[in-house]
Structure 1
Amino acid sequence: MKSLWQEWLGAIAFYTCLPISPSWPIQLAGAAKWCPWVGIVLGGMLWGVQWLLDFLQIPSPVASVVLVALWLALTGGLHLDGAMDTADGLAVRDQQRRLEVMADSRVGAFGVMAAIVILLLKVTSLSSLAKGSVLVWVLVVGRLAQVWAIARYPYLKPQGTGQIHKTSGVFPRDFWPSGLLVLLLNFLLPLPLGQLLFGLLLILLIPAWFQWQLGGHTGDTYGAVVEWTEALMLAAFTVGSAS
C-alpha cells in the first residue's frame, strides 16, 4: 500500500504542476499506470472551473480559451511539448535523424503548426459543448492511450524521460487501475456507446500510428499520444452533441 501511494504521488509530481510537499516520498517507477487517475483529477478541476465560468456568464469562446490555458498550466505543457517535438521529428524524411531532431530543444515550424491545430481543436470544441463532464472523459482517455503506448510498443532511446515508465511497467497487471477507473466513470458519467467506442479506437490507433512512423515510442511521442487523443476525442463529443 505504501508503494502504491508513492507511485500515485510520483504520477502527480511527474504529470502535473500541482504542489507536492518535499517531505512526501514519491516513486516514479510504476507511476505511469496511475496517469489516467491523474486525468480524472485534472478533468474534475477543469469541470469545476467551467461551472464557475458558466455561473459568471463568461462568453463561451472566452471561457474555452481560459479552460485550455488552465489545462496547459496544470500539466506544465508537458504533453504539448512532446507533440511539438514529435511533429518536428516526423517532418524529417531521414528516419535516422528523426530522434535527433525530436531531442533538439528548439521548436520548428511543424511543431508550431501541430500545437496550433491541437489548441484550436480543443478551444473550438469546448466552445460548443455544454457538459463539463466530458472533460473528465477526455483527460482520462488521453492518458489511457499513453498507458497502452507504454505497454504495447518498444522504447526507442537508451535514456529519456519516458524510459523509467517503460522499464518499470509490469503489463498486463498494470492495467488494473485503468480498468477500474473506466468502470467507475461509465457508472457515474456514462457515455453514448458510439463515443465510448471511438475513444477506445483512438487508444489503439494513435499509438499504433506513431509506432508505424518511428518504429517505437519515446517520451515525446507519449505526450503526442495524449494530446492528439484528447483533441480528437473532444471533436468526437462535438459531433455527438450536434447529432
Structure 2
Amino acid sequence: MLDGTGPENKAAPSAWQAGLIGLARCVRFFSRLPVPGLPFEADPHAAPDLSGMVRALPFAGLVIGLPASLVLAASLALGLDSWLCATLSIAALAVSTGAMHEDGLADLADSFGGATRERKLAIMKDSLVGSYGVCALILAFLLRIGALAALADRLDALPVCLGFLAACSLSRLAGVAPLAFLPPARSDGLSRGVGQPSRDSFWIGAILATCVTILLGFFGGLPKAGIGLMLIAAALAGWLVTRLSRRLFGGQTGDVAGAGQQAAEIAVWLALLIAVTP
C-alpha cells in the first residue's frame, strides 16, 4: 500500500508492548494454550526468537502453570487424596504443554544408548521412544507427583499452589540455560531455528525468575530457607544439564532444554520439600 497504512509502516511497539508480545510468543511456543493475536502484534504466527524473548519466560511459566495450579487448588478444596490431587495437577500441566518437555527428557535419556556423538544425536532425532526414555518418563512423573503430594500433606493449599507456580517459572528459565551457554549441536535442530538466547538476556530472565519466586514465596508464607533452596536447586539443575550436554554432544539441542526443564522442576519441588519437612 502507498498510503502509509500498510503493515510495513506500523509504528514500532513500545517497551511494554514488546514485553507483552514476547510473553504471548513464549506461551504459544512452550504450550498448547490458546493465545490470540495482540492488536499491536505485527504477525502472531511469526517464528519465535528466543534471543531476546527469554526475558519473558519466567512470566510465561506462570501463565502456563496457572491452569494446573487451579486444578490443584480445586482438587485440594474438594478434599481429595493428596496423591490424586498431585496426579490431576501434573496431568493438567502435561496437557497444557503438550508434553513438550517430557518429550525432550525421553529423547535425551534414549541418547545414552549411543556410543558416539553422531549416534546420540541421531537417536534424539528419532521419534520413537526406547527403554531409557520410558524409564526416564516414569521416574520423572513419579518424582513430580510424589514430591507435590508430600508438599500438599505438609502445607496449606495456598503455599502449595504458589510454590507450584514458582517451580513452573524457575524451571522454564533453567531449561534454556544450555541454549544460552552452548552452541547448537547440529545445524538443522529446533534450537538453531528459534535463535540462541544471549547471555545478557538469560541473566535478566534469571533475575526476574528470582524476583517472581521470592514474591510468590512471600505471599504464600513459604519459609525463607525453602525459597533459597528452590533458587539454588533450579540453578544447579540448569548448570548440571548444561555440563552434561556439553560433554555428550559438544553443544545443545531443543531436547536438552526440555530435559533441563524437567530436571529443574523436580529439583525445585524436592528442595522445597526438604525445607518444610520436620
Deviation at 1:104, TM superposition (A): 0.5
Match of residue 87 from structure 1:
109
8 Å contact from structure 1 (residues 34, 178) kept in 2? no
Q: Which of the two has higher C-alpha Rg?
A: 2
Match of residue 223 from structure 1:
258
Question: Structure 2: how far apart are the matches of 1:69 and 1:178?
Answer: 27
Relative CO higher for 1 or 2, CA cutoff 8 Å, sep ≥ 6?
Answer: 1
Question: Structure 1: how far apart are the matches of 2:258 and 2:85?
Answer: 25
- Calculate the TM-score normalised by the size of structure 2: 0.79
In 2 relative to 1, CA 64–109 (structure 1 residues): closer, same or farther, beyond 3 Å? same
Question: Structure 1: how far apart are the matches of 2:251 and 2:270?
Answer: 27
Match of residue 6 from structure 2:
none
Deviation at 1:146, TM superposition (A): 2.1
* Paired letter, 1:8: L
Match of residue 212 from structure 1:
247
SS at match of 2:199: coil
Question: Structure 1: how far apart are the matches of 2:161 and 2:185?
Answer: 37
Question: Structure 2: how far apart are the matches of 1:96 and 1:184?
Answer: 39
In 2 relative to 1, CA 33–184 (structure 1 residues): closer, same or farther, beyond 3 Å? closer
Q: Does residue 1:14 correspond to 2:29, yes or no?
A: yes
Match of residue 236 from structure 2:
201
In 2 relative to 1, CA 213–73 (structure 1 residues): closer, same or farther, beyond 3 Å? same
* Paired letter, 1:6: I
Question: Structure 2: how far apart are the matches of 1:187 and 1:4?
Answer: 20
SS at match of 2:190: coil
Match of residue 29 from structure 1:
49
In 2 relative to 1, CA 54–74 (structure 1 residues): closer, same or farther, beyond 3 Å? same
In 2 relative to 1, CA 8–195 (structure 1 residues): closer, same or farther, beyond 3 Å? closer
Of 189-198 and 74-83, more deviation after overlay is shown by 189-198
8 Å contact from structure 1 (residues 145, 203) kept in 2? yes
In 2 relative to 1, CA 76–240 (structure 1 residues): closer, same or farther, beyond 3 Å? same
Deviation at 1:64, TM superposition (A): 1.2
Question: Structure 1: how far apart are the matches of 2:247 and 2:19?
Answer: 33
Percent of matched pairs sharing the same residue: 23
Of 216-225 and 197-206, more deviation after overlay is shown by 197-206
Counterpart among 171, 186, 193 of residue 157 in structure 1: 186
8 Å contact from structure 1 (residues 195, 240) kept in 2? no
In 2 relative to 1, CA 5–194 (structure 1 residues): closer, same or farther, beyond 3 Å? closer
* Paired letter, 2:111: G
Once superposed, what is the RMSD of the aligned Cα atoms? 2.0
Q: Does residue 1:103 correspond to 2:138, yes or no?
A: no
Match of residue 60 from structure 1:
82
In 2 relative to 1, CA 194–22 (structure 1 residues): closer, same or farther, beyond 3 Å? closer
- Calculate the TM-score normalised by the size of structure 1: 0.90
Deviation at 1:22, TM superposition (A): 6.0
Deviation at 1:108, TM superposition (A): 0.7
Question: Structure 2: how far apart are the matches of 1:177 and 1:230?
Answer: 17
In 2 relative to 1, CA 42–198 (structure 1 residues): closer, same or farther, beyond 3 Å? same
Q: Does residue 1:234 correspond to 2:266, yes or no?
A: no
Deviation at 1:174, TM superposition (A): 4.7
8 Å contact from structure 2 (residues 143, 266) kept in 1? yes
Counterpart among 122, 133, 142 of residue 162 in structure 2: 133
How many residues align? The count is 242
Match of residue 179 from structure 1:
207
